Every structure is written in structure tokens, then in C-alpha cells.
Structure 1
Amino acid sequence: MKRKSLFALSAVVVVAAAALVPVLWSGGDNLHNGSAMAATPADQAALVKKGEYLARAGDCIACHTVRGGKQFAGGLPMATPFGTMFTPNITPDDQYGIGKWTQDDFYRAMHTGRSKDGSLLYPGFPFTSYTKVTRADSDAIYAYLRSVAPVNVASRPHELKFPFNQRNMLIGWRTLFFREGEYKPDPTKSVEWNRGAYLIEGLGHCGMCHTSINAMGGPVSSAAFAGGLIPLQNWYAPSLTSNKEAGLGDWETKDIADLLKTGVSNRGAVFGPMAEVVHNSLQYMSDADINAMATYLKTIPQKSEAPEPMQLETSEKFGGELLKQGQKIYADNCAKCHAENGLGQPPAFPPLANNQSIQMPSAVNPIRMVLNGGYPPSTDANPHPYGMPPFAQSLSNQEVAAVVTYIRMSWGNHGTAVSPQQVSDLRSAPLD
């Protein structure tokens, strides 16, 4: 077997994903420098409601709330190639949370990536995207976070390797990879398109997953939205710029919007990290904002070729043997839901024929789905989603490789054969 050059491993069928590391801020009672809060109780209530909506758009809860823990109390471990970071408490607790920052301090964290004391924040907190957020929206999020119940829990210190635990070294990183500035509307585009761009590039921080990173943890700007690695999660975030992956050039805007809002559409369903994004964030967004995001995503320039991934390749002869074996496994285990012809029963059971996410150069996501199963997110519009059972206990590495090979190479799909070694490597991968 031989290896191709690696591009990335990570997320799933379409768009963004949640922030990877913490927001290192706190809040405050007093206002400064003319950034006044709403003047009346009604105005304040409206501001808090707006801030709650925007915090949903930014998916703040995903990183700052441990499963089963108090909302926004932090403590979620974030494994990175540079060590483990722990998300901070951003409740309005005076001792450990955001009890002593002003609106100006909060905006500085969002806009410049600097803490209250001026220290540099680690770029796991997506200030490189949040810098695009307007001052008005930042103030609204601040008002909302100040309204939640305080939790008196200390934030756990990061456990980063030397020299990554030296914050001053971030100056060089920022010079290379950070450009400060609020989003500037494109006057040649519609109001809807600009709203979508603002949400995707700013609060949505979609590029953090769908753009590959280099050895320094910086985005490869020449490959924006061309697919990328969600560190250590073992999910591939497909390219949005190539129709050979999750490129949206031939999608109907409605199908994109359905996928974002409900997690399922006639073109496919989301699983893995993207399902969490839909569940925590996108399902709560207005139809107007979802349509704006879909409008913007559909206009991302498409490229003829997807990025080159790395994966083990089988010989042509062995690939043929896997294909034959996989046909029987598919008939026994998969055809009831996905049909003998691979057309499925959308949106409940997504089609596998002519499905870009199945035949991408990277086979990581279909392998993980066969091994671990999964569900699209439960949303108001799709409260009882149909799921995929796991087959890790019933199928061997070669059998999983065989059925994934069959799916990737049948019904006109143009994927390549899958190596049992790839399955073995992913069998022990973390589920989150």
C-alpha cells in the first residue's frame, strides 16, 4: 500500500462548526466610553433577547458548557496538537466569571483578541472571525451573558506544552494570521448576501473547520473553505469549494437552507460535529438568516479539483475483491433503508448514490458512520430524526472496508477502495 499526501480529517456534510477553544473574558457593571446599555427595562429586555440570539449564532454554549454542567460555567477540555485547553466560566460571577468586565473590555476580547488586562488570547477562541462582529452585536451578547445565572466555579488552567504556554509568543502568530476589523459590506452584493457573509465569516466562524491549518495552527488562506481538520476529532470537514466534495454550486438554495436549519434535506444529512452545530445553534436562527447564509454559501467560488487527502490505498485487485464482498454486506445490512439502488428514502434515509460526501477522496466520514453510527440533530422541524446503527461490533475491519468500498464505487459513484487499515485506525478514534 502507498500513502497520498494528507489534506485533512474532520467534520461532515456541509458548513461550519463550533468554536474550538475558550473565550477568556469577564464582564462588568459599569459602562465606559460612551458604550451605553439600553435606557429602559423594555429596551434592556430587547437587548438581552437579541444577545441570546446572537450567542446562539456563535454557538457559545458548545464550548462553554460541559455536558450535564451549569450553562456557560466552562470547564470543557479542548484537546489540541499543542496541549489541552479548558474553556472558562463566562457567567456573571464576580470572582470567577464575567463579573468585572465592561462592555469595552468584552468588545476588545471579541475584536482584538486581548483580555481585560491586555494579555493575548489564544486563537482557539475564534477572535480572528469574531473581529468582524459589530460593536452593537458585541454589546448585545455582553448584555445576554450578564443576564444568565452566575456560577461560582473557577476556570481550570490550560495544560499547554512549552513553548505554547508562553502567551507573548502569540505576537508572531497574530502578525501572520490575524487581521483586525469589523465586516465591511460588499456594495456590489445584495443585503441578503451581505447578511449571510457576516454570519458565516463572523459569528458562525465556519472557516475554522472548513479551512485547513498549518503546523503553526494558522489557517491556509489560499485554501479558504477548501476543507480542513478539526484537531483530534477524526472528522473531515469537506471542501465547500469543490463539487467533488461538499461544494454547493449545484445545490438548490432551499436544500442548503433545509440542511442548515433542520440537519436533513433532499441532498443529504449532517452527522458528527456538524450535527451538534445544527442542534445547538442553527436550528434557532430565523428563516431569513438561514436563507441569507445559504445565499452566501452558494456563491462561494467553486474549483474544479478538491484538495488532495492522505489515505492508504489498496491494490486494484484487492479493491475488486472488497467491492464484491461489500455488495453482499450492503444487501444484508444497508439496502432496507438506503435501497438496492442507493437512492435511499430522503430526507429520512439519505441517498448514497451520487452523494459527494460518500465519494470524497477522504473516506473518513463514511467509515466512521458505519463503525459508530449516528443521528442527525433533533430539531423543531425534525424532532425525531432517523438514525444510523453502529456496526463496529458486528463487522470486522475488512467487512467495514468492503461495504464502504461498495458504497463509494457503485451506482455511478467515483470513490476509491478503502483499506482495512484505515478502518482499524479509526475504530479506536474518539467519538466526539
Structure 2
Amino acid sequence: MPSRSRILMALLIWFVGCTAEAQQRSSGNSVAARGEYLARAGDCIACHTAPEGRIFGGGRAMPTPFGTLFSSNITPDRDTGIGKWTAEDFYKAMHYGRFPDGGLMYPAMPFASYTKITREDSDAIFAYLKSIPAVNQKNREHDLRFPYNNRQLILGWRTLYFNEGEYIADPNKSAEWNRGAYLVEGLGHCGMCHSPINALGGTSQSEAFKGGLIPMQNWYAPSLTSNREAGLGDWSIKDITDLLKTGVSARGVVYGPMAEVVYNSLQYLTDEDTKAMAVYLKSIAEPTPTRASAASTLPSTESSLLMSLGKTVYDGKCATCHGAQGEGKPPHWPPLAGNQSIEMESAVNPIRMVLNGGYPPGTEGNPRPYGMPPFAGQLSDNEVASVVTYIRTSWGNRGTPVSAREANELRSAPLN
């Protein structure tokens, strides 16, 4: 009997051990799965995957006014990736913008936003990255002009523009609002594009989310506070969530770099997180200003000729999808009449859309929305300027005319 008891006890210990190991493995898989979701929310794949490259293998070129930076390999390869990093090392990169050895990261890595991420979320993302296939690919050296190739200069930038610290919930706001703020300000790092960037590559807190030209990308990221631009104060929550989730809503459509964000990141978020972001974004919008009349910058005769040519081009190239009166056919073809993205002070985006379209689905530039073809090969600079002017000033739109020179400058500009 004692022998039988010992056997039963040994079997019990083995079973408990196997169960504990299975639970640990399941828990690890659960953490990694959560980390994958958070990595999607942070759009890590966009920067850390080069065109035609291996996922998270790095090497994507990121042109800046100071030279070209190349994203790093964040796969678990021990020689060329982050395989030797610890969770503490990874948190140091996310929260402090420093390498494991204490070296300074360039702020193209959005640590100024990621610093708001909790340690728990950082650990989950790290667990996910440790679970993906390793890619043996050395990081490319940055190609920065003197003196910007001196990393010590980043200390000055950090003093001016980096406020370290996790997101602190506002007790006067709802849990949903705070979740939206955490995603928009932290993981989503929306302010990286939607805030004006000064000559030092920084943004002051007072200018956060007020829009600006994205350096070296030749797209304009509209203000998220001004209802004259992308401010969403007058939009319904459904309209906002539709735009975030699919890139198309009854009120507007995304294109350019923002379409990549929808494709790589936002479409994967839960309905609850998408709604939380919508609630927060709607809350930071400023009151809607009185609509002013368009102020033409062209002589009346020139303006009349431009409008006449613009209508001819529009009727021939655009009306089939967007309607004779700019009414569109939502949700597939957005209206142009009363479209805030058409009327903004900057005409960069509508010019780019006419020239480059929505890019073919599946390409790196802009997988969504579908259907908008490029017209750069069909229209002259004058025709592009005329049709954009026509769209910006017709059907009650309050935009201003654009010139052939503006069209020509953007025609030769790189897409990314």
C-alpha cells in the first residue's frame, strides 16, 4: 500500500506541475496576444517595417529636415534585434527614450508620447515582440548632417520638448474619455503628425494637435482642435468611429499617411477603444467659427478663367463619382461640398489627391480609401490648379484658389 501511495503522490505532483506549466504558458500567450493588440494600436509596424522588408526588421527610411533616419530591427534576433533586451530595457526605451546602455534615442521614435504608456502595457508589447520570428538584419546607420549626427544635442531637445511620465487620468472625466486620451496621446502618438513642428523638430504643449505640414512627406496633417480643419466637434460619434475604423464616413475620408494609419492600426481596434478615441477627439475640438466668405487671391478675369477650366475638368474627371454638385455617394465616394478637408487653409492635401489619388489598394502609400485614381499623368499643372480651385470654391465651399506653381511643386515631391 505504501508503494501505491507513493505512486499516486508522484502522479499527483506530475499532474499539478503540468497544469501549472500549461497555465503559465497560457498566461504568457495571453500577455503576448494583448501585446500584439497594443502594438497595433501604437502602429509599430508602420515605421519598423521597410517596403518589401521583413515585418519589424527595420530599415525603413524616414526623411527629416536634418537628414535621413532608418528604423531599427525590433525582432527577437539576438545579434541584430532586441533579443538580448530585458523587459526593463524595453520600458527604458519606451518611457525614457534611451537604449539599454543609456544612449539617447532620436525623437523620431515617439518616446515623447510612449512615455505615457503604463509599465504593464510596455511589458505586454515586449512579450509580443519576443514571440515573433527573429530577423537577422543589421540596423542601417543614420544619414544625418552635421551637427545633427551628434546625439548629445538630443539633450537640449529633451529639455525643451520631453515631459517624462505615464498618463495620469483626469478624475473629472469618464473612464471612456480617459481611455481615449490614453490612446490618442500615448499609444497612438497622434500629436506626432497633427501638431506643428518647429525648426528644432519639436512641438510646444500649447500647440498640441493644432495641425501642420508633415516634414518631408508633403502632406498636411490638419488640426484636431479646429472645426475649420479636422476638429470633430460638430461630428457625431458614429461619423468619427466610422472614419477611424474604415477611413470613410458620411462626413469625410482619410488619405495619404492617415490612410496608412487606418490600414495598419486603427481598423484592428475594438469598438470600445475606437469609441473612446472618438469621445476624446470630439471633446478637444474648439467652438465652430462663423464661416467666412472665400477671399480670392486672383484677379477677377484670371479667377473666372480658372473656374471655367476647373468646371470642365471636374465634369469630365470627377463628377461621375463625386456628383455634379459635389454631393458624392457616401460612403464609397465622399461629398466635396461642405467637406472640411477641401476648405482648409492649406491646399496641399486636395492637390496631392488629384495628382496621386488614393494610391492602388495594397500599396505602401495609401491602401484606403479605394477608387480614387491618380491624375498626374492626365492633367497639366494648370488643369490641376483649376480643378482644385473649382472644388475649393464651389457649392458653398470657402476655400481659396491655388496656383499652377503649387501643383508643380507637389507633382515632383516624394509620396513619403
Instruction: Give yes or no for TM over 0.5.
Output: yes
* Aligned match of 2:4: none
Aligned 1:63-74 pairs, distance under 5 A: 63-74=47-58
Task: Tell me whether 1:229 sits opposite 2:252 in the alignment.
Answer: no
Change (3 A) 1:164 1:419: same
- Deviation, structure 1 residue 288: 0.4
Q: Distance in 2 between matches of 1:342 and 1:301?
A: 26
Superposed, 1:126-205 pairs within 5 Å as 126-205=110-189
Whether the 8 Å CA contact 2:253–2:369 is kept in 1: the answer is no
Q: Name the CA distance, whole Å, in 1 between partners of 2:71 and 2:285.
A: 35
- Give, in angstroms, the shift of residue 317 of structure 1: 3.4
Once the two structures are overlaid, the 10-residue window that deviates more, 66-75 or 179-188, is 66-75
AA at the equivalent of 2:30: A
TM-aligned CA deviation for residue 222 of structure 1: 2.0
**Partner of residue 310, structure 2:** 326
Shift of 1:346: 0.5
CA contact (8 A) 1:338 1:345 kept: yes
Describe the shift of the 1:83–1:180 C-alpha distance in structure 2 as closer, same or farther (beyond 3 A).
Answer: same
Secondary structure in 2 matching 1:40: helix
C-alpha separation in 1, matches of 2:334 and 2:130: 42
Structure 2 partner of 1:251 = 235
Structure with more relative contact order (C-alpha pairs < 8 Å, separation 6 or more) = 1
Q: How far, CA to CA, are the matches of 1:314 and 1:123 in structure 2?
A: 41
Matches of 2:323 and 2:408 in 1, distance apart? 27
Alignment check: 8 A CA contact 1:270 1:376 kept: no
2:41 to 57, 75, 80: 57
Q: What letter is aligned with 2:96?
A: T
Q: CA deviation at 1:89?
A: 0.7
1:11 alignment partner in structure 2: none
Unaligned 5+ runs, structure 1 = 1-37, 307-311
Deviations, residues 157-215 of structure 1 (Å, cap 9, x unaligned) = 11111111111111111111001000000000001000000000001000000000111
Report how far residue 221 of structure 1 moved: 2.4
| Alignment partner, residue 7 of structure 2 | none
Look up the SS of the partner of 1:236 in the other structure.
Answer: strand
Q: Paired residue for 1:357, among 329, 338, 341?
A: 341
Tell me by how many angstroms 1:393 deviates. Answer: 1.4
Alignment of 1:18-57 (within 5 A): 40-57=24-41
Aligned residue for 2:6?
none
CA distance in 2, matches of 1:296, 1:376: 32
Residue 229 of structure 1 and its aligned partner are, at CA, apart by 2.2
Deviation of 1:337 after TM superposition, in Å, equals 0.8
**Cα gap change, 1:77/1:232 in structure 2, threshold over 3 Å: closer, same or farther?**
same
Q: Distance in 2 between matches of 1:172 and 1:199?
A: 27
Contact 1:74 1:86 survives alignment (8 Å):
yes
1:367 to 318, 333, 351: 351
Q: Which residue of 2 aligns with 1:388?
A: 372
> How does 1:333-348 map onto structure 2 within 5 Å?
333-348=317-332
The letter for the 1-side match of 2:412 is S
Q: Distance in 2 between matches of 1:228 and 1:140?
A: 33
Q: Distance in 2 between matches of 1:100 and 1:197?
A: 33
> How far is the alpha carbon of 1:413 from its aligned partner?
0.4
Q: Which moved more, 1:224-233 or 1:197-206?
A: 224-233
The one-letter code of the counterpart of 1:68 is E
Give the whole-Å Cα distance in 2 for the aligned partners of 1:372 and 1:398. 16
**Preserved contact between residue 193 and residue 214 of structure 2 (Cα < 8 Å):** yes
Q: Secondary structure at the match of 1:318?
A: helix
Deviation (angstroms), 1:301: 3.7
Deviation at residue 152 of structure 1 after TM alignment: 1.2
**Residue 414 of structure 2 is aligned to residue 430 of structure 1:** yes
Whether the 8 Å CA contact 2:260–2:368 is kept in 1: the answer is no
Q: Does 1:412 align with 2:414?
A: no
Q: Deviations over 1:114-139 (max 9, x none)?
A: 11000111111000000000000000
Counterpart-to-counterpart distance in 1, 2:203 and 2:185: 13
Percentage of matched positions with identical amino acids: 63
Q: CA deviation at 1:314?
A: 3.6
C-alpha distance in structure 1 between counterparts of 2:401 and 2:39, whole Å: 42
SS at match of 1:401: helix
Root-mean-square deviation over aligned CA pairs: 1.8
Equivalent of residue 89 in structure 1, options 48, 73, 76: 73
Q: How does 1:211-226 map to 2 (within 5 A)?
A: 211-226=195-210
1:47-91 C-alpha deviation (Å, 9 max, x unpaired): 000000000000111111112211111011111011111111111
Question: 1:30 maps to which residue?
Answer: none
Cα contact 1:376–1:385 (8 A) shared by 2: no
CA distance in 2, matches of 1:326, 1:404: 7
- Partners of 2:101 and 2:386 lie apart in 1 by 56
Which structure's CA Rg is the greater one?
A: 2
One-letter amino acid of the structure 2 residue matched with residue 246 of structure 1: A
Unmatched 5+ stretches in structure 2: 1-21, 291-295
Partner AA of 2:215 in structure 1: P
Q: TM-score, normalised by structure 2?
A: 0.90
3-state SS of the aligned residue for 1:218? coil
Instruction: Write out per-residue CA displacement over residues 228-256 of structure 1, whole angstroms, 9 at most, x where no aligned residue.
Output: 12111100001111111111110001100
- 1:216 counterpart SS class: coil
**1:319 Cα deviation from its structure 2 partner:** 2.1
Moved over 4 A (4+): 303-306, 375-378
Q: Are the aligned partners of 2:210 and 2:223 in contact in 1 as well (CA < 8 Å)?
A: yes
- Structure 2 distance, partners of 1:130, 1:343, is 40
8 Å CA contact retained: 1:409, 1:416: yes
The residue correspondences of 1:226-305 to structure 2 (distance < 5 A) are 226-302=210-286
Instruction: Specify the SS of the correspondent of 2:80.
Output: coil
Q: Write 1 or 2 for the structure with the bigger share of helix.
A: 2
Instruction: Give the deviation of 1:305 after TM superposition.
Output: 6.6
Q: Deviations over 1:90-119 (max 9, x none)?
A: 110111100111111110110011110001
Shift in Å, 1:259: 0.4
CA gap 1:86/1:238 in 2 versus in 1, 3 angstroms: same
Residue 22 of structure 1 is matched in structure 2 by none
